[in-house]
Amino acid sequence: MTSGFITPTSQRTASRLFRPLSTTVHNSNNHPASSKLRRTRPRNNIDPLLSRLALHPSFKDGALWSTTAGTNEVDTPLTTTAAATNNNDSNNADFDTLFPNKGKNPLTLPPRMRFAPSPTGSLHVGGARTALYNWLVAKKGQLEEEGGKEAAFVLRVEDTDLARSTKGRFWSLGVMWYESENSVLADLTWLGLTWDEGPDTPLGKYGPYRQSERSSLYIAIARRLIAEGKAYPCFCTPEELEAMKLKMEQEGLPPRYDGTWRDADPELVRQKIEAGDPYTVRFKVPPNSRVVIDDAVRGTVSWDADATVGDFILLRSSGVPVYNFCVAVDDAAMGITTVIRAEEHLTNTLRQGLILDALGAPRPRYAHCSLILGEDKQKLSKRHGATSCNQFRLDGFLPDAMINYLALLGWNDGTDNEIFTRDELIEAFDIDRIVKSPSVFDMDKLKWVNSQHLKKFEVEDILGLVQQQLEFLGMVKEGAEEGKLRDFVFASTALAKQMMETTRDAAENAKTVMGYNLPASYADLPDGSEAKEMIEQGNFYGISMKILEMYDAGTFPTPDADNLLAAFMDGSNKAIVEDTVIGGEEGSYPMKYKETMKAIAKDMNVKGKNLFHPVRLALTGEMSGQDVTKQLSLLAMATGEHSVVNADAAGVVPFDARIERLKSFCASIPEQFRVSKAASGGDSAKSDEKSSKNAAKADTTPKEESVTTASAIADPLDGYTGPPITALDIRVGRITKVWTHEEADKLYCEEIDVGEAEPRKIASGLRPYMSAEDMEGRLVLVLCNLKERKLAGFPSHGMVLCASNQDHTEVKLVSVPVEAKVGERVTVPGFDFEGEEGQPYPENKIGKKKVFEQIAPFLATSEYGVPEFCGRPLLTSAGVCTSPIAKGSVA
């Protein structure tokens, strides 16, 4: 029973607790009594602050009332009689007005929400979600016409646990801060969860907002509870408490205090206090009491208080109040209407409810959210990776994406929408839609959400964030020339923009681009690697030797030092983020490079992947990646005169060093792989088959035939670097039953026959776009290898594919040929769906790797309404699928 342990106390502490309730201190002109009560401050001019404080309604006798209540240093004898209580009727009025919600129903009041962290380090995921939910309710309340000014998000620091809180303090503008508060406050600020009242607002209506600064208030209220017979001093020693615990355990009873001092003789109590005996203050649990709450998340929860907790401690023998006492007093004194917190606090509600009832203050509404779990279904902790908000900031996540994802960890709006702006979250959030089941923190899902938010920004909007990441990794020099630094950051951002999941990806991608991973010799290539198999086709050696010949002759094009941004800008000087779009004007480096590729293709009679894959490996050391002209332009920035790049930290391999390594590598290639198999009459079928299998990793450089202008666009498949389309298990299905979801106004629930023993149950957000009658009996396309998940409580296993216009105001089902077979797999021309490589990915891989999210941007309808992947139609055995929506998206 840790709450029963006692430490020595002083006669002065005892007399403070039991003196009369009057706290009025009369000041003299020269020696204000309140000067004893405040901490020593630096000798700076705080008169302006005091002048502002004097206007505060709770500022009395030189200090805030809540910091002076019960601090009169005049020692008085113990008095617990009714007469003593009656002598302090004037002060009872102060206590009655201390609780602003007294006599009111909190559910009818504007929401006053609170987040109450302990200052023990950075803000972690669970705490951030709690803060967010409370913030959303408060902000929604502030937008309402009636009572909006009274709604508030309160930040309260629960620092009574002195062992865990950092005690180092400093002064700033006359306001004291705990050293370890800074991390939590900084994290909340980064997330944009600004508070209306908190530790940095000394003029807050219900301040101060640190529990350590409210101890006198707790002592004063404890004295009142004693005077009213609702609490009492307990003089049990640690040895007596331990013996009590052992006895109950031997009798098979749950350990709890047995009430030894509950009804003690007042005279005996007075004598022990005068003797200086240490004691705690315990709450007197009413006989046969029961606490019942209607939890917004968990429903009705009740406790038999008398049998569960016994008489619990309010004040330790040191005079320090316990956690539950502070929380209950503060919730009442600050007018908190609703408490949203983690389920681990559910058991605290019993003690807090009893205290609130004893104070005559209404209980706030409670909502206890389920825990956040790691992917191993254990409570989320550091072993699962990054869990602190500061680490997510350092890793390149956006604050808006973080709150978007955190909101989804236990809440949904009743639709399948997963991307929300801050304002949309405020409008949509409702406590009643918080789910009871625990949520699993999925880093891949967070990255996907972050990528969707990044897509909303232009390159210029995120340059500062990418620069931060480059600085975190030490890739740019301190004090670098501003213009050159901005160009490098711009190029790094534009190069990675299309594939970025976090802003750190841009920095990591730049590091990869500036490196060169071609090994020293052919023997160093791993057996079965894509690079080794490509080299063995014989094209790499001849093409590389041609590049080396041209480089030695000075005819191989290199980036123009005076116009290194040419590859990244279009004709209107806007950033190019699409990797299939070629930058530069006529005569620029990108155009010269393309002309060179055309000449090599003609001279060596190679084209397409047989040209571009060898060129890419030779120049960049990689089999896939962004446009080569952009990569080499970024490299030129890193190696040019007065470069801003820290070459060692960035792992830069200059172009001339690459050429030397390429020479050595080519010299190590066996003779049999120095001639193209196609040219020597060898069997090229294997090469063609391998190329088909690796279509998803095809070179992003446009084919030479398509390069006609500075903004030429290649075959979409050449620019595709995501998972193969064969990863998806898209089948023909027939909708057999449709009904509306009882709780979600935008969802239909469907049963769909996809050729399995039982029909699939799938929820879709199609209700605003079509009637149930139009859907029943329709043949549809169903993505079947999605893991089952609950949408608004409905177990949905799969997704119906639809076509929509650009602004998603029109959504239609993809039309399937009437003679298509239910359960057959949809295919795409040019891809092998039959062999081992063509088998769909398992459900867990589809979800964990966000495979569909990577493929989806390349699923679209043509100008004729044909659903396509990278320009190839979706086929069934009965023909091509169609759609009434042209030039739309498919998802």
Q: Which residues are catalytic?
A: 382
Q: Distance between CA atoms of 424 and 274, rounded to whole angstroms?
A: 62
Q: CA-CA distance, 336 to 354, in Å (whole number)?
A: 16
Q: What is the DSSP letter of 587?
A: T
CA distance 188 to 202: 19
CA–CA gap between residue 161 and residue 181 (Å, rounded): 14
The amino acid occupying position 844 is N
8 Å CB contact between 74 and 19: yes
Which of 216, 273, 249 minimizes the C-alpha distance to 63?
216
Q: How far is CA 868 from CA 121, 691, 764, 876, 890, in A?
A: 51, 20, 22, 13, 8
CB-side neighbour CA atoms (13 Å) of 496: 25
For β-strands 338-342 and 867-869, DSSP reports them as unpaired
What distance in Å separates the CA atoms of residue 101 and residue 332, rounded to the nearest whole number? 7
Neighbour tally for 322: CB within 10 Å: 20
SS (H, E, C) 667-723: HCCCHHHCCCCCCCCCCCHHHHHHHHHCHHHCCCCCCHHHCCCCCCECCHHHHCCCC
| Helices and strands (H, E) in the chain, number of each type | 31, 30
CA distance 385 to 380: 9
Q: Classify strands 760-764 and 794-796 as parallel, antiparallel or unpaired.
A: unpaired
Cα distances (angstroms) measured from residue 745 to each of 426, 765, 767:
19, 9, 8
Please, are residues 315 and 322 in contact by the beta-carbon 8 Å criterion? yes
Cα 581 → chain centroid: 33
Asked if 399 and 450 count as a contact pair (C-beta separation under 8 A), the reply is no
Q: How far is the C-alpha of 603 from the C-alpha of 612, rounded, in Å?
A: 14
The DSSP line for 296-327 is: TTTEEEEEEHHHHT-S-EEE-TTSPBPHHHHH
Tokens of 695: 């279509």
What gap in Å lies between CA 459 and CA 333, rounded to an integer?
49
In 3D space, the residue among 671, 520, 534 whose CA is nearest the CA of residue 609 turns out to be 534
Report the distance separating Cα 359 and Cα 221, nearest Å: 9
Q: What is the dihedral angle through the alpha carbons of 554, 559, 562, 567, rounded to the nearest 10 degrees?
A: 150
Distance CA 695, CA 831 (A): 8
Burial of 239 (C-beta count, 10 Å sphere; 0-12/13-18/19+): exposed
Q: Which residues pair with 302 in a beta bridge?
A: 292
Distance CA 733, CA 7 (A): 72
* H/E segment holding residue 290: strand 290-295
Tokens 């409905």 sit on residue: 794
Rounded to an integer, what distance in angstroms lies between the CA atom of residue 204 and that of residue 724? 58
Question: Which are the contacts of 632, defined by CB distance < 8 A and separation ≥ 6?
Answer: 558, 559, 619, 620, 655
- Can the peptide bond before residue 208 be classed as cis, meaning omega within 30 degrees of 0? yes
